[in-house]
Structure 1
Amino acid sequence: MARRATDRPHTRRDLPAWPTDGLSYGGDYNPEQWSPDVWREDVRLMQEAGVNIVTLGVFSWGLLEPREGEYDWAWFDEIIGLLHDAGIAVDLATPTAAPPSWLLHAHPEVLPVDAHGEREAPGGRLGWCASSPVFREHALRITTALAERYGDHPAVRLWHVSNELGGGNGRCWCDVSAARFREWLRAQYGTVEAINAAWGTAFWGHTFADIEHIEPPRGDKHKANPGLFLAFERFSSDELLEHYLAEAEVLRRHSAVPVTTNFMVGSGGHVVDYSDWAGHVDVVANDHYTIVDDPVREQDLAFAADRMRGLTRAREPWLLMEHSTGAPSWQQRNRAKAPGEILRNALAHVARGSDGAMFFQWRASTAGTEQFHSAMLPHAGTESRVWREVVALGSALRRLRGIAGAPVEPAKVALLVDEESAWALQQGLKPHRALRYARETRLWHRVFWQRQVLVDVLPVDADLDGYDLVVLPTLLVVSDAQAARVDAFVRAGGTVLATYLSGIVDETSRVRGGGYPGAFRNLLGVTTEEFRPLQADESVLLSDGGRVTDWSEDTNLRGAEAVVTYADGDSAGRAAVTRNAVGDGAAWYVSAQLPLDSATRVADRLIDELGLPRAVEAGTGIEAVRRNTPDGDVLFLINHSDADETVAVSGRSLLDDDATFDGTALVPAGRVVVLRESAAE
């Protein structure tokens, strides 16, 4: 079977018009929660804040179509008219994220069913099954009605299909989904014999006599056949994509306006395969929220932004569709943002390629599940620090409008990520079931981020031309073709760093024979006899002074040289980090779950050996990224530390008319400096 779950041509259109003039600024607006007099106040305050676009209609289905086939457009016409008269563009959402109560009452079968066979109750987010033909029929009807009415409206500058697809309905185990899954299997594999061969169903006597006998992996996911599990994950992503494409086709039939949907890209695995989805949206857009107990929240933000940039074509701009001005509502202990953090977070996204900064939401809700979620206009109103910072951010984005459309500087480091590897790592009886895919992706991004070395976070099938270093963090699922591409990259002079649990299984989740690390064994010049997961109270000393927890291996050198070794424990004397010279390139292997200090030492050696460019020479608290404009490079300097930093650079501030920098720039603690650089004399 083909590795990619979908084999359809991309449908993204080449549309030159960005939805706003300059950088986009605004957020989700839910006027249905408020009276018309509040609408007018909202529009006035949006103008004060510099808002130029809002997302409208995400949860409005039940009010736009209060009864099947009966529409109430009057209030929607009014609010769209108010926004248009104020010069505020509309990102118009199809309201299919929130099926109305009359639909759920008449057709409860559209509600998702969980892995244990229980049908979800109404009231959650995205409470519908992507395989349901009943839901599809109703969703396309409201989408058609909306497109026919507003497809040519001058205020509508972007279409927004549903909302965070998969965020609540990523999987459904109902009988309809099961039937669709079997159709999908026929298209992918052809015969039951091919499925049995690929999945190794002879184990536990699970050989299938007919495709009709195959069910989704219900119940305990750790008992499912790994091939079955991975196939169902791919199918589920495809079903949601099919729904997106069905709505997008309606919109494109009635309107020339660009179409998008908001991804939920972060640093871990995702419910859908965004690398497959990205080619079907006209504007690649993302929602990103930091996690309260993440000790390096700003680096998670940078990772997500670098990953979004990697999903676009030719370093195109993308759009931050949602983030927060303060505390979200869905974490255990929701954290308010520190003074200045709104600007730092927003401009960090802009620095890394977003042509805007949008929020959920405009006005804080007083009722409903997310009544304590932060907003651009908080419960405290305009006499608040958050409001003052929102107005200041609007001013900053207007000053930076000239960077719209400008690419981020080319990176020389690529980090390959793969949803299928994330799915496979989290399922089944693995050697260490507490390992998380995001651990290594974040670690290896972080060690370059803290050295101001730009990293492109790319899909596993991305073009590797132009990169000097490619990092493969826990790339568990690898096809022969992908392994061959990595091999060719190294033999042409590139450098690869692969971590433990990379190349272990093929695209059907079967373990590759011949020893670990599987597909990359010959390239890396090592073999691993046994994985040696460490127990919760165990650690192993390394020869560089670092201490390993969670994962180690019994690794043998087969041409590679040892760079770091295990200094004690059962693997004492064996290699923890290796380097293998291959052709004109080199292949590094990391068999241990390295601590930050050890990984940083490896990164420093790679930076020196390969001459990887640093944006600036600065401490680890400074984030530095350039965007290349026709008028010269624009450098973003973001100080995430609690101490002032001085950076060697010259140029003119774009945020402060009076500030110029002649050789050095002071970046105060917690502040941002953006400058157009001067050429060195």
Structure 2
Amino acid sequence: MTQNSAHASHLILGVCDYPEHVPPDRWEHYAKQQKALGLTHVRLAEFAWSRLEPEPGAFQWQWLDQVIDILHQEDMQVVLCTPTAAPPAWLVHAHPEILAVDAQGRTRTFGSRRHYDFASSVYREHSRRITTAMARRYGRHPAVAGWQTDNEFGCHDTTRSYGPASAAAFRAWLQQKYSSLENLNAAWGNVFWSQEYTAWEQIQLPNLTVTDPNPSQVLDHARFASDMVKEFQEEQVRILRECSPGRFVTHNFMGFFADFDSHAVAACLDFASWDAYPTGLLETCSFLAEDLKHKYARTGHPDLISFNHDLYRCLKNNKQGFWVMEQQCGQVNWAPHNPLPADGAVQLWTAQAWAHGADGVSYFRWRAATMAQEVLHSGLLRHDETPDRGHLEIQQLQPRDFVPGEVPAQVALLHDAESLWLFDQQRHNQHLTYWQQVMLYYSTLRSLGVDVDVVQPGADLSAYQVVVAPALTLMSEAHAANLKKASEHAQLVFGPRTAFFTETGQAFDKGQPGSLSELLGGRLKNFDSMRPTLKEMLGGYEVTLWAESYRLQDAQALHVYESGPLAGECAVMQKGNVLTIGAHSPGLVHDLLREVALQAGVSVLDVPEGIRVSRRAGKMLVQNFNAYGVDFLGTRVPAVNFEVFEDT
């Protein structure tokens, strides 16, 4: 039987440690310190390949044997990693063909990490080989609780390679998908600009084109690259299942990652994990306004963190408890700016993770690195081994107060990787991205005190009172049927650009929203991509960036535009319990979602700015991300802190 983090009676606390970075005389001392701090799990070895196999086939296990045995003596458990995120120099030297090639045609060379092409058969062979060797050695060790595959798939823009290995594999993938060039040419619309192919070998990867590449080809290339990650993952997981029975297998995904389908890649795992760096995520978030980045510079924006918690909690259809495999515990080193977190932030982030369904939180890292690229990144210990701020905050945590249980979400927000790829490939407005549109709806729901599951459009939606689809621009027949089924019991809300494209990336030839037109009660009439200086009005609400209007069939118009080229045309239409919003307008979206939630019987709790509430296991966690205390629910919630209430 596979172990799962949900078996624990309270929140698991762990740490990422790198014994290969320090002298062996520190190993036992660190293990005792980690146990004394209340940590129970230690993640090891995700970048240790060169120490485990310094020469081809010459394995050096002794040091890792010793580390794992020391932790076992302290009753600590180990999450062991396959070290394939950093192939060693000898492998790259012997097989330079494993290296990835970027979109500009440049080989990405050795000297950092993630320097491989997922489609390389040579690298796949070595991945299986090192995974098998590790799993056979440690797979049944009593201290090994589970495995993490690789590390942060796709980080540093490494999902999609444009080299020979991927080019050959892409052509083979297309042949299997389309069977004939006639089918492929039709699916991609290759008659446009004389792009028709007469031989498979003529097909290249969609980079270095004179102007925009064919969007349908880009979509299929994104699908192909995602499938390569999925295959790579599945190969490792099969080995781990065989050689290490009874241990969980997970992978540490990243926030707002767009380059592969996380649902598909996670399908073979026991549960998902992700790496939460709230201040770094804030700094690298392109769609967040500068005033919000300033306000939340030392805590991270609560909704950026919680969206990813909700996504990874729901990544598996059974919604087993996820882990935060790397939790920020001080300043990071990789963002444009790297402020020191506020006092209390580490405790707040830990509690927030639990409230959104996390069963484990592992802090990155134990001791700050004294070498190489991450010397400015914090750890629980400083360079001189004295406890840093995060260490002191964890000492004050009471993880037994955080018990397992379900997140009682009544609202589903739909996220779809293929819609993301198409939306951002043809934005039509450089200031409006898929994530920006999705987060407008998600943040609005969170501002109403509503718990949210982030799920696929093909998921079972029978348990939800409200289903919100902010940006489903690609609509398959299967997803359309699932949404129609959901409308039989739930309130449905659709955002702009709904069902604009077919599964091949072409526009519906009978107009949008394609096969959803009967469900929505109207069809798209016009759309207006507005520069940031343009603003239009409807019903007292300001509309920016995007506006679309509808030809009504049997829906009714709730709002019409009052200005601009769409004046007098329908901006929001409703048919029964299905609402379609065509305007990018935060105020309008807020008021409409609030009304829909109340109509559906979902409890609404209007929360002050910087305050968020989350429910789990019969408790309600009130989180304050403000730098000042806030009176809420009859209690003064201190600055950058939280309070736990019974969920009544």
TM class by smaller structure: over 0.9
2:596 is aligned with 1:597: no
2:555 is aligned with 1:565: no
Instruction: Give the corresponding residue for 1:657.
Output: none
2:48 is aligned with 1:60: yes
Deviation at 1:512, TM superposition (A): 0.5
Of residues 412, 427, 430, the one that matches 2:425 is 427
Deviation at 1:15, TM superposition (A): 4.2
CA distance in 1 between counterparts of 2:79 and 2:387 reads: 28
CA distance in 2 between counterparts of 1:521 and 1:380 reads: 64
Instruction: Give the corresponding residue for 2:97.
Output: 109
1:493-532 map, 5 Å: 493-532=489-528
2:626 is aligned with 1:641: yes
Classify the secondary structure of the residue corresponding to 1:58: coil
Instruction: Give the corresponding residue for 1:539.
Output: 535
Deviation at 1:505, TM superposition (A): 0.4
The 3 A distance-change label for structure 1 pair 17 and 557 is: closer
CA distance in 2 between counterparts of 1:387 and 1:31 reads: 18
2:406 is aligned with 1:407: yes
- Answer whether contact 1:320 1:354 (CA < 8 A) is retained: yes
2:343 is aligned with 1:339: yes
Of residues 264, 285, 289, the one that matches 2:273 is 285
The letter for the 1-side match of 2:302 is E
Deviations 1:192-235 (A, max 9, x none): 11111111111111111122322221225962211111111111
The 3 A distance-change label for structure 1 pair 605 and 22 is: closer
CA distance in 1 between counterparts of 2:384 and 2:588 reads: 46
CA distance in 2 between counterparts of 1:288 and 1:238 reads: 25
Deviation at 1:256, TM superposition (A): 0.9
The 3 A distance-change label for structure 1 pair 220 and 339 is: farther
Of residues 409, 415, 418, the one that matches 1:417 is 415
Deviations 1:26-63 (A, max 9, x none): 22211111111222332222122211111100110001
Instruction: Point out 4+ residue stretches in structure 1 off by more than 6 angstroms.
Output: none
Which deviates the most, 565-574 or 240-249? 565-574
- With structure 1 as the length reference, what TM-score do the two structures score? 0.88
Of residues 60, 64, 68, the one that matches 1:76 is 64
2:644 is aligned with 1:669: no
- Answer whether contact 2:536 2:564 (CA < 8 A) is retained: yes
- Answer whether contact 1:378 1:387 (CA < 8 A) is retained: no
- Answer whether contact 2:41 2:76 (CA < 8 A) is retained: yes
The letter for the 1-side match of 2:98 is V
Instruction: Give the corresponding residue for 2:573.
Output: 578
Deviation at 1:279, TM superposition (A): 1.9
Of residues 536, 553, 556, the one that matches 2:551 is 556
CA distance in 1 between counterparts of 2:467 and 2:210 reads: 32
Instruction: Give the corresponding residue for 2:381.
Output: 377
2:317 is aligned with 1:317: no
2:472 is aligned with 1:475: yes
**Structure 1 residues without counterparts, runs of 5 or longer:** 1-12, 649-663
Calculate the aligned-residue CA RMSD, in Å.
2.1
The letter for the 2-side match of 1:609 is Q
Deviation at 1:380, TM superposition (A): 6.5
Classify the secondary structure of the residue corresponding to 2:267: helix
- Answer whether contact 2:4 2:270 (CA < 8 A) is retained: no
2:238 is aligned with 1:236: no
CA distance in 1 between counterparts of 2:444 and 2:382 reads: 36
CA distance in 1 between counterparts of 2:476 and 2:6 reads: 37
Classify the secondary structure of the residue corresponding to 2:314: helix
2:633 is aligned with 1:623: no
CA distance in 2 between counterparts of 1:620 and 1:177 reads: 47
Classify the secondary structure of the residue corresponding to 2:328: coil
Deviation at 1:366, TM superposition (A): 1.6
**Structure 2 residues without counterparts, runs of 5 or longer:** none
Deviations 1:103-155 (A, max 9, x none): 11111111101123221111232111111122122222211111111111111
Which deviates the most, 272-281 or 570-579? 570-579
CA distance in 1 between counterparts of 2:160 and 2:246 reads: 30
The 3 A distance-change label for structure 1 pair 435 and 222 is: farther
CA distance in 1 between counterparts of 2:39 and 2:324 reads: 14
- Answer whether contact 2:379 2:388 (CA < 8 A) is retained: no
The letter for the 1-side match of 2:460 is D
CA distance in 1 between counterparts of 2:58 and 2:390 reads: 41
Deviations 1:524-571 (A, max 9, x none): 223332211112321112222x22221112433333223233222222
Deviation at 1:613, TM superposition (A): 2.2
Of residues 578, 599, 609, the one that matches 1:609 is 599
CA distance in 2 between counterparts of 1:284 and 1:187 reads: 30
The 3 A distance-change label for structure 1 pair 488 and 317 is: same
Instruction: Give the corresponding residue for 1:126.
Output: 114
1:433-448 map, 5 Å: 433-448=430-445
- Answer whether contact 2:523 2:553 (CA < 8 A) is retained: yes
Classify the secondary structure of the residue corresponding to 2:643: strand
The 3 A distance-change label for structure 1 pair 16 and 97 is: closer
Instruction: Give the corresponding residue for 2:446.
Output: 449
Of residues 98, 104, 107, the one that matches 2:86 is 98
Of residues 245, 253, 258, the one that matches 1:270 is 258
The 3 A distance-change label for structure 1 pair 29 and 222 is: farther
- Answer whether contact 2:571 2:583 (CA < 8 A) is retained: yes
2:306 is aligned with 1:299: no
Report how many aligned residue pairs link the two structures.
Answer: 631
Classify the secondary structure of the residue corresponding to 1:603: helix
Of residues 30, 42, 46, the one that matches 2:18 is 30
CA distance in 2 between counterparts of 1:96 and 1:493 reads: 46
2:146 is aligned with 1:155: no
The 3 A distance-change label for structure 1 pair 248 and 332 is: same
The 3 A distance-change label for structure 1 pair 618 and 332 is: closer
CA distance in 2 between counterparts of 1:676 and 1:495 reads: 28
- Answer whether contact 1:161 1:259 (CA < 8 A) is retained: no
CA distance in 2 between counterparts of 1:604 and 1:142 reads: 53
Deviation at 1:183, TM superposition (A): 1.5
The letter for the 2-side match of 1:326 is G
- With structure 2 as the length reference, what TM-score do the two structures score? 0.93
CA distance in 2 between counterparts of 1:383 and 1:349 reads: 23
CA distance in 2 between counterparts of 1:20 and 1:112 reads: 40
- Answer whether contact 1:548 1:593 (CA < 8 A) is retained: yes
